[in-house]
Amino acid sequence: SQMFTILSIQPHSTGLQVLTSENKWIEIPPLAGHLIVNLGSQIAHLTNDVFRTAPHRVLTQRDSERNLMAVFFYANMNLPLE
């Protein structure tokens, strides 16, 4: 339901995984100085599925700390794009 998610993951923070087209979960490696952009379902809708939502999950790591700040907004799906 979101447009996109931008993640800045600390190098020691692991656990983010995406589901491949072969139905296998793969880990996204945390790289210092890099951002991860996850496209949401609104982007898929606006691009007629040219860009699709990636099924993802986060596995918790008991021995590491994870901080999250989430901000949600919804685009007006009836507004024409120019």
* Domain spans, the chain: 4-58
CA distance 54 to 67: 22
CA distance 68 to 56: 16
Backbone dihedral angles phi then psi of residue 22, each to the nearest 5 degrees: -90, 10
pLDDT tens readout for residues 19-72 = 998 999 999 888 878 877 777 777 787 888 888 888 888 887 777 666 666 666
Higher pLDDT pick, 5 / 1: 5
The pLDDT value given to residue 25: 96
43, two tokens: 């982007």
CA distance 25 to 38: 15
The pLDDT value given to residue 23: 95
- Is pLDDT at 16 greater than 80 in this prediction? yes
